[in-house]
């Protein structure tokens, strides 16, 4: 009895952390003059959309919302917001801001994303925005990626290349990488919105520049975030990886993958 109450209390705490983070992020980063907004996937983004819808149609009717997949498409439509497609965003234009969740966030705001299998479109939307804001609950923050999210880095692959990609991941030191199975009741591998498969590849915790300064990178078999991401994306057959890394939107004009801020 005591255990189940604790589990329920923890669940309530997590939901309240997601909600508070989402409302604060929208308050700080959604300016009324913005017209193009990216909306990510997952359960935390539900609160982002709730916060946006709560601003009222006087504010939101001038805005268009760009989803990262079928789930966020439904979310936007259900809230009565104006749904647009990132494929219709003209070349040379950017979203004003994009909000999305994460599976894990490290001290430098690198992210693991893709637990929900939408990582490719999530990266396109995040990188199309002038500012990308991450919203998550307190369980997602950790000093190094791979510490809190133990299922591995999600990697979107061309199905025919999956066996070769698995070989390469093992060679790079991944521990038991595996093709993600389909949702309960569905045989075979999970198929993404883009017709691809997902491989989850667990690696030892990923180091940050500060670790190299202090010498921890000398530990055998440990990658830095940037080195691993650069190597993974070069494997033939890999379409996209669930590491959002590099520079954030304050440092590059466009194409940033890292958030300018993370809310917990
Ligand atoms: C998306 O949703 C994904 O990149 C990430 O895997 C997941 C986070 O979901 P939740 O908010 O439900 O924890 O952002």
Ligand 1 binding pocket mutation candidate from 102, 118, 241 (most atoms within 8 A of CB): 102
DSSP secondary structure, 142-162, as one string: -SSTTSS--S-EEEEE-GGGH
Q: For residue 69, is it left (φ>0), alpha (ψ between -120 and 50) or beta? A: left
> What distance in Å separates the CA atoms of residue 240 and residue 242, rounded to the nearest whole number?
7
Nearest CA to ligand 1 atom 6: 115
Residue 44 alpha carbon, nearest atom of ligand 1: 11
Nearest CA to ligand 1 atom 2: 42
> What distance in Å separates the CA atoms of residue 89 and residue 49, rounded to the nearest whole number?
21
Reported as a single tens digit per residue, the pLDDT across 173-210 is: 999 999 999 988 888 999 999 999 999 999 999 999 88
Can you give the pLDDT at residue 212? Answer: 82
Active site residues: 122
Can you give the pLDDT at residue 204? Answer: 94
Can you give the pLDDT at residue 3? Answer: 60
Distance 218 CA to ligand 1 centre (A): 32
Can you give the pLDDT at residue 244? Answer: 98
Ligand 1 binding pocket mutation candidate from 11, 103, 241 (most atoms within 8 A of CB): 103
Do the strands 178-179 and 111-112 form a parallel or antiparallel pair, or are they unpaired? unpaired
- For 9, residues 6+ apart whose C-beta sits below 8 A from its C-beta are none
> Please, is 169 exposed, middle or buried when counting C-beta atoms within 10 Å of its C-beta (0-12, 13-18, 19+)?
buried
> What distance in Å separates the CA atoms of residue 111 and residue 245, rounded to the nearest whole number?
7
Residue 136 alpha carbon, nearest atom of ligand 1: 11
Q: What's the angle, vertex CA 44, arms to CA 46 and CA 227, rounded to 5?
A: 135
Nearest CA to ligand 1 atom 7: 42
Distance 103 CA to ligand 1 centre (A): 6
- Looking up tokens 């080195």 gives 227
**DSSP label at 206?**
P
Nearest CA to ligand 1 atom 4: 113
Can you give the pLDDT at residue 219? Answer: 65
Can you give the pLDDT at residue 11? Answer: 93
> What distance in Å separates the CA atoms of residue 29 and residue 23, rounded to the nearest whole number?
10
Q: Please list every protein residue whose CB sits less than 6 Å from any atom of ligand 1.
A: 40-44, 100-103, 113-116, 119, 122
> What distance in Å separates the CA atoms of residue 178 and residue 163, rounded to the nearest whole number?
10
Contact 215, 131 (CB under 8 A): no
Distance 118 CA to ligand 1 centre (A): 9
The candidate with the shortest Cα–Cα distance to 65, out of 54, 46, 81, is 81
ipTM comes to: 0.98
**Which pair of structure tokens corresponds to residue 216?**
């921890």
Can you give the pLDDT at residue 56? Answer: 97
Residue 111 alpha carbon, nearest atom of ligand 1: 4
Residue 115 alpha carbon, nearest atom of ligand 1: 6
Can you give the pLDDT at residue 186? Answer: 86
Contact 96, 37 (CB under 8 A): yes
Number of other residues whose CB lies within 10 A of the CB of residue 7: 10
In the predicted model, residues of the chain with pLDDT beneath 50 are none
Can you give the pLDDT at residue 24? Answer: 98
Ligand 1 binding pocket mutation candidate from 25, 116, 190, 192 (most atoms within 8 A of CB): 116
Contact 136, 262 (CB under 8 A): yes
In residues, how long is the chain?
264
Distances (CA, A) of 148 to 15, 70, 102, 139, 143: 18, 27, 12, 7, 9
């Amino acid at each position: 009895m005591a255990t189940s109450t604790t589990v329920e209390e923890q669940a309530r705490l997590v939901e309240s952390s997601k909600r508070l983070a989402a409302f604060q992020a929208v308050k700080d980063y959604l300016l009324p003059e913005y017209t193009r907004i990216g909306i990510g996937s997952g359960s935390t983004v539900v609160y982002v959309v709730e916060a946006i819808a709560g601003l009222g149609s006087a504010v939101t009717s001038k805005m268009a919302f760009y989803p990262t997949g079928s789930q966020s498409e439904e979310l936007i439509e259900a809230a009565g917001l104006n749904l647009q497609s990132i494929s219709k965003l003209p070349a040379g234009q950017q979203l004003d801001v994009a909000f999305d969740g994460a599976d894990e966030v490290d001290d430098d705001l690198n992210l693991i994303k893709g637990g929900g299998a939408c990582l490719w479109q999530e990266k396109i939307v995040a990188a199309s925005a002038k500012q990308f804001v991450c919203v998550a609950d307190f369980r997602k923050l950790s000093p190094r990626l791979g510490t809190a999210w133990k299922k591995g880095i999600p990697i979107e692959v061309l199905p025919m290349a999956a066996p070769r990609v698995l070989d390469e991941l093992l060679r790079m030191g991944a521990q038991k990488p595996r093709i993600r199975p389909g949702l309960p009741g569905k045989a075979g591998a999970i198929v993404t919105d883009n017709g691809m498969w997902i491989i989850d590849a667990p690696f030892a915790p990923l180091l940050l520049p500060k670790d190299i300064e202090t010498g921890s990178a000398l530990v055998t078999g440990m990658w830095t975030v940037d080195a691993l991401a650069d190597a993974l994306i070069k494997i033939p057959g890999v379409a996209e990886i669930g590491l959002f890394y590099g520079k954030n939107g304050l440092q590059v004009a466009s194409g940033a993958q890292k958030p300018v801020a993370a809310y917990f």
